[in-house]
Structure 1
Amino acid sequence: MTSRRKIALLLVDVINSFFDPGEPNYYPGAEDVLPVIATMLRAARQHGHLVIHAAERHRTFHDDFEWKKLPIHHLEGDPSTDFVTGFEPAGPAEAVIYKRRYSAFFATDLALFLHEQNVTHLIIVGVKTNCCIRATVQDAFAHGFTPIVPREATSSNRPHLAEASLEDIARYFGEVVSATEAEKMLG
């Protein structure tokens, strides 16, 4: 029996909070990944690959367990949670997953949705490599998907932790490839 490979592109937290210098979670250099992500997004759209936008959102006026570790952030309706201009979903064919934890899989229907679409491989891009990307990759693997992380399409304000995370991803959970390799997969 041969298995068919079906690839989807998952953008994690490509929202203003991380990429606009005036926003609370911005860090210098975060925007360097945007041109690489834009190229992959164009390729995915052009070649008919499924595109999913995962964005962190928390409920206004309600407690959230995450506040035990982090300051209050990414509240519904706050402009910091808007998608970066040019990275908004391009119509209803692109799925949006709102998450309340680091992983795009935790307490969302992402795994169910991807299985229903027969996705086998997931190219994961966005921020932060050592936190939301790593958590999403680990859960992708646990749900039976092959996660693929293009090195130049993720970043972190802690480069040493990003490198350690990429090493762990390559060793235990999936593939770490160049942006060029990921673009070819989407081509």
Structure 2
Amino acid sequence: MQDFDVKELDRLLQQAFDAATALYQQRGFQRRVGFGKRPALVSVDLANAWTRPGNPFTCDQEKMDNEIIPAMQKLLAAFRANGLPVIHVTTAYEITDRKAPFTDMGLWHDKIPVDVVDLKDKDLCAIDSRIAPVEGEYTLLKKRASAFHGTELAGILRAANVDTILVTGVTACACVRQTICDGIADGFRTIAVKEAIGDRVPGAVAWNLFDIDAKFGDVVGVDDCVTYLNSLKA
């Protein structure tokens, strides 16, 4: 899609958001969930199959290289400096034969090409080296869109007394959104870090962040998130 088309799409989306904001606020939506006392970073699918070119799951490379990765680096520095929990999330499958009578993909392969993230190719599901985990951080392997669905995530967060999750990653319309929806459903304050969320499709990030901010969590800029994290030193 040409730059002109993307700009026009952004303009039309903003026009729609302005109208929807008036409706939402009139009806009591767009309230704030706010930051809590102990946050964790939940970084969703910022692994090579999504962050690097050449894979069906590859996301917008310009945004990835110039916005998402730098924002993640800022967040990681703040989380690490303040000794706060970091969970990196990735997705891969052990049985990738779509004709097999039993697979760890379930029926999802009928919709998307999950067979291209084969667990045997460790590089595909490895977290991007620019934001690679360090000692003391956990990498969680999921099989579904949400990082909570069928995983140990909620349990390990509660064990660490976490009440707030800062969610980053891809994609805005699927895994990030589902993680945020399940996060607030499980009792965590959900914060979507605006500059650290991406997608493959133009407009998907803007629309989903607008809708998340109205109903499921707070969309907050990375600099404000870092300020919050650093305030916890006291």
TM over 0.5: yes
Residue of structure 1 in register with 2:49 after alignment: 17
Residue of structure 2 in register with 1:82 after alignment: 126
**8 Å contact from structure 2 (residues 94, 120) kept in 1:** no
Residue of structure 2 in register with 1:104 after alignment: 147
Question: 1:84 Cα shift?
Answer: 0.7
Alignment of 1:89-128 (within 5 A): 89-91=133-135, 93-128=136-171
Residue of structure 1 in register with 2:74 after alignment: 39
> What is the SS of the residue equivalent to 2:127?
coil
Distance 2:229 2:111 in 1: 37
Question: 1:95 Cα shift?
Answer: 1.6
Residue of structure 2 in register with 1:5 after alignment: 37
Distance 2:222 2:213 in 1: 15
Give the TM-score taking structure 2 as reference length. Answer: 0.74
Distance 2:201 2:56 in 1: 16
Unaligned runs of 5+ in 2: 1-35, 97-101
Letter aligned with residue 77 of structure 2 = R
Question: 1:162 Cα shift?
Answer: 1.7
**8 Å contact from structure 2 (residues 190, 217) kept in 1:** yes
Alignment of 1:52-63 (within 5 A): 52-61=87-96, 63=103
Unaligned runs of 5+ in 1: none
Letter aligned with residue 130 of structure 2 = G
Deviations 1:53-75 (A, max 9, x none): 11112113562221011112322
> What is the SS of the residue equivalent to 2:72?
helix
1:133 paired residue among 173, 176, 180 = 176
- Is residue 159 from structure 1 mapped to residue 159 from structure 2 by the alignment? no
Deviations 1:53-105 (A, max 9, x none): 111121135622210111123221312111111322211x2122110011100
Deviations 1:126-168 (A, max 9, x none): 1111111100000000100011011111111223222221112
> What is the SS of the residue equivalent to 2:203?
helix
Structure number with greater Rg is 2
Give the TM-score taking structure 1 as reference length. Answer: 0.92
Letter aligned with residue 82 of structure 2 = H
1:66 paired residue among 96, 108, 131 = 108
Please report the RMSD computed on the Cα atoms of aligned residues, expressed in angstroms.
1.5
Distance 2:166 2:112 in 1: 27
Of all paired residues, the percent bearing the same amino acid is 29
Letter aligned with residue 67 of structure 1 = H
Q: Figure out how many residues of one structure are paired with residues of the other and give that number.
A: 183
Runs of 4+ in structure 1 deviating by more than 3 angstroms, as ranges, are none
> What is the SS of the residue equivalent to 1:141?
helix
**8 Å contact from structure 2 (residues 69, 130) kept in 1:** no
